[in-house]
Amino acid sequence: MHLYYNELENGIRLLKLNGILDLQGVDLIEAKVRGYTTGNGLRVFVDLSEVTFMASIGIRLLASTAKFLMVHNGKLGLINPISEVREVLEITGITEIIPIYPDLESAKAKFLAA
């Protein structure tokens, strides 16, 4: 699992994940995710387009990150998961608390309008 970080305009942060988000993958990136999502009023997107598998531990990481951001007046959004990963996210109900967007531009438009 690899994590790439980018600071976008308007203070939006983009985390792009690549690989398998299982126990080993989460162990590799969890501390970095926490570091990039710590603060008040942050708007963060996680690009899942290159995540090929997501285990329950990966869903836990996303859910806890979203909850932390909400408590600190921030937001988390997911971008373009592959169909298998999207199905797992929908089955678990995580999409009730974390919106999924088809691409970065539509995600930014929704976040900036809110």
| pLDDT tens per residue, range 39-52 | 999 999 999 999 99
- Residue 114 is predicted with a pLDDT of 66
DSSP string, 18-47: EEEESHHHHHHHHHHHHHHT-SSS-EEEEE
The strands making up 2-7's β-sheet, listed across from edge to edge, are 2-7, 12-21, 43-54, 75-79, 100-101
Note down pLDDT in tens along the chain; length 114 residues: 999 999 998 889 999 999 999 999 999 999 999 999 999 999 999 999 999 999 999 999 999 999 999 999 999 999 999 999 999 999 999 999 999 999 999 998 888 776
58-to-11, 35, 83, 99 alpha-carbon distances in Å: 25, 17, 16, 16
CA dihedral 58, 45, 76, 103 (to 10 degrees): -100
The total of structural domains in the chain comes to 1
Joined tokens for residue 22:
């299982």
| 3-state secondary structure at position 8 | coil
Task: Please give the residue range of the domain that contains residue 77.
Answer: 2-113
Determine phi and psi for 19, rounding to 5 degrees.
125, -150
What is the token pair recorded at 11?
A: 């203070």
CATH code of the domain in which 37 resides:
3.30.750.24
